[in-house]
Structure 1
């Protein structure tokens, strides 16, 4: 079993200013990425990375640093990339939250709620509505139980079906983000780095 390689915000900032900066892949949704991201990062949402991993990995010959909100999705992306044979992969310790807390700059766009906050809102609303509604229709308590069971499974499996569903909403899609566009960006930046 391999151990997760992390990099803290200070070290990443130093590496980004070096002659050979790492490739930063932000695996959050396009909407989250648009809200705030590290300058020069590429948005490769986790679901897209998983689906097109072999095509994307062909263009990741450099050191790669994975970023998400707090590190959970980045850890899943790291596992996927390591399984495909990419060795020089790191996770930004604490994610974009730690980066901003340390005072490092981000590019800002349209402000949206992050995916984890959306999951808490939807799950909490379903549970609250189900419990209140169970006073009239007692069987609604099972809806609350199902959501609680789903959240428990999500924690144990380190995945979130509700989050994956919410990430597909137009609100979270933001700018166009598809495999051909991402690959073209990665190829273009590789050519620029080689020429520089």
Structure 2
């Protein structure tokens, strides 16, 4: 599925649209600053598939600091049969930059 730009994510969060939102950064990064997503560090993702299984056919939006780890998470979930996974391009850095404008 096509990745998502931070402006679209911001708009969808403001509208409280329904999607599964995952932050794959480490816990300490999440505690410093987060967007309210479900925190599953990338290394833990393979161990959390049973928790994600009920959401397999829902839209899943994944973000990290810059978009690299979430890109890897997207690829991993796609290989596990998740058809609607989107990566936040630029990650939380781009999101916070957008808020400053």
Please confirm whether the aligned pair reaches a TM-score higher than 0.5, indicating the same fold: yes
- Structure 1 residue runs of 5 or longer lacking an equivalent are 105-196
Post-superposition shift, 1:37? 0.7
Post-superposition shift, 1:19? 5.6
Deviations 1:119-156 (A, max 9, x none): xxxxxxxxxxxxxxxxxxxxxxxxxxxxxxxxxxxxxx
Matched, 1:5 2:8: no
Size of the aligned set, in residue pairs, is 99
Q: 2:51 aligns with which of 52, 56, 62?
A: 56
Matched, 1:86 2:93: no
* Higher Cα Rg, which structure: 1
- Looking at structure 1, the residues matched to 16 and 3 of structure 2 have their Cα atoms a distance apart, in angstroms, of 21
- Looking at structure 2, the residues matched to 10 and 19 of structure 1 have their Cα atoms a distance apart, in angstroms, of 14
- Looking at structure 1, the residues matched to 46 and 84 of structure 2 have their Cα atoms a distance apart, in angstroms, of 18
Post-superposition shift, 1:85? 0.8
Post-superposition shift, 1:35? 0.5
Post-superposition shift, 1:46? 0.5
- Looking at structure 2, the residues matched to 91 and 36 of structure 1 have their Cα atoms a distance apart, in angstroms, of 18
- Structure 2 residue runs of 5 or longer lacking an equivalent are none
Matched, 1:44 2:44: no
TM-score (norm 1): 0.47
Q: 2:63 aligns with which of 58, 62, 67?
A: 67
- Looking at structure 2, the residues matched to 14 and 21 of structure 1 have their Cα atoms a distance apart, in angstroms, of 12
